[in-house]
Structure 1
């Protein structure tokens, strides 16, 4: 079934990004999340449930290595807005002989998993929300009654990437961890720009609250809806003392093999990436431990490509990242121009 979903994704082009995360990205996430028996795992935009299933498969592998024949499986929960994809997720669970609860509906506006008038919380949250969504406006954030969007963090702006991260944070229990896949621009938009930027302000809040465990920069051309690389942002509600005030950054941009039609991360690289991240092991041109003070000096740019150069050819910033920043600057310029025109109109100029 996984093979069929992947083949369907290959033939679906950009629409595949709505339901499918490459299997190897899911395995990297599952290994980093390192779930234990009986944990509650949640995906707020579950697609075909691939990330949830990978978490359980990695748990089964770990228990086999420990010679544990009987153990409590992870409890899997998800929400998906598209009826066809919701059906696909449930079928995927059945074929993998796993039990899970996949609700249907709009997670951003009407999350289904609640405890009374609060969000239900989980041990692990994994997600690959659609990147750069523009359909959610400030009124959607203001209308929230579940305390998902901290007022002191601010409104994330025209793109919903950090809105999803805020929802994910609110869905974690006090010892929970999360991994979310975002567009690379979400890690850097607005940084280095003298003007205020709403996304940068939210990033600043997450860094200052010491909620980001690390960021992983993925290779390009993995995803079916874009050739751009993505980043995995890992959150941790309970960082160990020795990791407080620090972030672990890993640049895996070269960890790929050419495929048709997409690149892929080889099996040995999946293990290397996850093991390096889990151990916080620094390697030249690959991974670094960075303090919050250094992040602040770089204007809250948390992209690993800013801090780790993999070689001479990579001294320049990725083109996709530059284009994202140019688009953000253009949006800011348009908004400023509109505000100026409104002011001039009010004073009769």
Structure 2
């Protein structure tokens, strides 16, 4: 193991018990029943937890702040922050305990108490959480006094509940509220975050962990409640108390953003670097355009649309603008239904050009979705060609609270160590977990200390074994080759072939000739626009064309079989050439529908003697860049299709277009590399097992019958 690259696993020896705090919080939540539906408990619980956390943090300096404010109510906020020893304060004489002394006015007094907080706290309470509305609602339903009383007893003092434990409390609250979360919103368990941070900092970050005064900029562009930022902060400060950690985040969910701000304030972070609400939509806006990051850590939403009718207003337009040269998404757009690879491009765009590193959670889609020329494939290709992917780690299923699907971590780097350059490391950690004693939603497993250590060591050792595979980047790049069969068709103008043409899509759903469905809709349309009138007239002409062709073919029906497709086409031309609207392409289309593929028919060749391909037989073969295509076809294709014609259909000399596009793509078929073939049991062995079971069952039935007779 390379000790200089490996750092001990950040995993506390003693487990963090939050059952007391969480139990009290949820007993309060249950007291809201009747006045609130369960999905609205969070409107009270989250603000009250935040208020109590701030109150506990400020208690030691509260009296001094109140006294200072009384002396001069116009003191600048900066002076009151100096007194409070936090970047926030409260100059109200109230606290939650004192509010209980005047139960008749508890609602107005609580509002007054909140107004005594500094502006940054009021931003959280009112703009984001709109808590004054909930105060009135609780007061009206006679719940406010009991809620305030119970929260006043909740111990959230930083000396007893450090930021790590507070994170667990928030995590549990969010978990319960997210059990019915929207698809794609998956809150990241703390042990998964710790693993990400541990692997991320295991290499390329020696200066941050050992040198004084170094600046560590950390970004989470989908930061939620700030768990990833907090964990990165705690790890860095634990390893190096003198590192200057600067956290940056973007989050559009107001409740999560509020929790994140609260945590950042207590950590002394500049909350101007934590952007929230709709203006912080990462797909629309880079809130820190002039700031590159040393570290990016992120769990973007799975399968959420960036475009189409289900996307936020203006988002698709913004994304497409960034798809231009120099934009954040210039290297490709995935399908509009999934934005994960957009977040990944954003992360790469934010990385420091010299030594930036990123850890991104995804589901399986970014590894292999999309065809060869799709945006997904081209984004993967770009990442490989730029040598940005250091490792991909497959995690166990059932780790997350509201999804049990397989999860992956991409480790991206702009400062790969020399032996990693030009290579991608795959780590199969799907079996590295221990069961939870009690399920938490869909979370039934966790990555324990030993598993975390093993995964980190596998990453740092960078050596192949049963859990780790290392490949050159080219292993994941491939070309798509077209495969055809020779044009060999027999033609006949009998009842069957003419009926096939009559009902074919070529004559019933062809926008260039006649589309029956569209025609019927246009027929019923009144009035029609100028464009619709033009289309209607085109389909009327097409309908007449179809009728004329079919009438001539019916009149010349015959059982004569043409074994030479060229001769059959000439025969059709002699019959149909004078039909109004006939063209060479239409004649060819009609002939291809009427004629059937027949390997005994004459192989068609052009004037130069070159075999003509049957375009209807087109298939594709995916061949890795590391393979010789000719050898591949001799081994994989010719044994099944001896007369196959293959080609790489791209001409670099011509302008790239929809019909002339380089068929070079990329994918990560992760499970294929770790698949182990298990030979099935022999039939005789299975039969023996079956006979043994049958004998055993017969004995049990006989014994049962004997006992009944007795």
Aligned equivalents of 1:5, 1:73: Cα separation in 2: 25
The answer as to whether partners of 1:162 and 1:199 remain within 8 angstroms in 2 is yes
For the residue of structure 1 that corresponds to 2:433, the secondary structure is coil
Looking at structure 2, the residues matched to 213 and 2 of structure 1 have their Cα atoms a distance apart, in angstroms, of 29
- TM-score for the superposition, normalised by structure 2: 0.39
1:84 alignment counterpart: 255
> 1:3 Cα deviation (Å)?
2.4
- 8 Å contact kept, 1:154–1:201: yes
CA distance in 2, matches of 1:269, 1:79: 31
Q: Distance in 2 between matches of 1:312 and 1:61?
A: 46
1:290 and 2:461 correspond? no
Residues 41-190 of structure 1: pairs in structure 2 closer than 5 A: 41-63=218-240, 70-95=241-266, 97-100=267-270, 101-104=273-276, 105-115=280-290, 120-136=291-307, 139-144=317-322, 147-150=327-330, 153-158=331-336, 159-174=338-353, 175-190=355-370
Q: Give the drift of 1:177.
A: 0.7
Where in structure 2 are the equivalents of 1:155-234 lying within 5 Å?
A: 155-158=333-336, 159-174=338-353, 175-190=355-370, 196-234=373-411
Give the TM-score, by structure 1 length.
Answer: 0.78
The superposition leaves residues 232-284 of structure 1 with CA deviations (integer Å, 9 ceiling, x where unpaired) of 11111122332221001101101112221311110121122123213323221
SS in 1 for 2:181: helix
Matches within 5 A, 1:269-308: 269-284=451-466, 286-296=467-477, 297=624, 300-308=666-674
Contact 1:18–1:47 (CA<8 Å) still a contact in 2?
Answer: no
Relative to 1, partners in 2 of residues 1:19 and 1:182: Cα closer, same or farther, differing over 3 Å? closer
Describe the superposition over 1:55-76 as per-residue Cα deviations: whole angstroms up to 9, x where unpaired.
Answer: 122223333xxxxxx4123211
Aligned 8 A contact 2:425 2:471 in 1: yes
Partner of 1:13: 179
Q: Tell me the distance in 2 between the aligned counterparts of 1:229 and 1:14.
A: 19
Where does residue 429 of structure 2 map in the other structure?
Answer: 252
Give 3-state SS (helix, strand or coil) of 2:668's partner: coil
Asked if 2 retains the 8 angstrom alpha-carbon contact of 1:19 and 1:46, the reply is no
Per-residue displacement from partner, 1:27-64 (whole Å, max 9, x unpaired)? 1111112152521111111111111111122223333x
Deviations 1:5-48 (A, max 9, x none): 23223323142874731111101111112152521111111111
Q: Which residue in the other structure is 2:571 paired with?
A: none
Q: Distance in 2 between matches of 1:172 and 1:114?
A: 12
Three-state SS of the structure 2 residue aligned to 1:75 is strand
| 1:33 alignment partner, one of 200, 205, 208 | 200
Contact residue 369 and residue 377 of structure 2 kept, 8 A: yes
Higher relative contact order (CA 8 A, sep 6+): 1
Question: SS state of the match for residue 278, structure 1?
Answer: helix
Correspondence for 1:328: none
Q: Distance in 1 between matches of 2:234 and 2:380?
A: 32
Deviates more, 1:138-147 or 1:211-220: 138-147
CA RMSD in angstroms, aligned pairs only: 2.4
Provide closer, same or farther for how the CA distance between residues 238 and 136 of structure 1 changes in structure 2, counting only shifts above 3 A: farther
Q: Do structure 1's residue 267 and structure 2's residue 457 form an aligned pair?
A: no
Q: Kindly state the Cα deviation for residue 157 of structure 1 after the two structures are TM-superposed.
A: 2.1
4+ long deviations beyond 4 Å: 310-313
Cα deviation, 1:80-106, whole Å, max 9, x if unaligned, reads: 1122111111222345x3525311121
Any gaps of 5 or more consecutive residues in structure 2? 1-165, 209-213, 309-315, 478-623, 626-664, 680-710
List gaps (5 residues or longer) in structure 1.
64-69, 314-349
Q: How far apart, CA to CA, are the structure 2 residues paired with 1:257 and 1:251?
A: 16
CA distance in 2, matches of 1:273, 1:78: 27
Provide Cα deviations, 1:201-234, integer angstroms capped at 9, x if missing partner: 2111211221111111111011123110111111
Q: Is the 8 A contact 2:186 2:401 kept in 1?
A: no
| Separation (CA, whole Å) in 2 of partners of 1:133 and 1:250 | 27
Distance 1:245 1:57, change over 3 A: same
Aligned mates of 2:257, 2:334 — CA distance in 1: 28
Indicate how the Cα distance of structure 1 residues 312 and 258 shifts in structure 2: closer, same or farther if over 3 A, else same.
farther
Describe the shift of the 1:170–1:233 C-alpha distance in structure 2 as closer, same or farther (beyond 3 A).
Answer: same
Q: Tell me whether 33-42 or 155-164 shows the greater mean CA deviation.
A: 33-42
Tell me the CA shift for residue 288 of structure 1.
1.2
- Asked which structure has the greater CA Rg, the reply is 2
Q: How many residues align?
A: 296
Change (3 A) 1:55 1:112: same
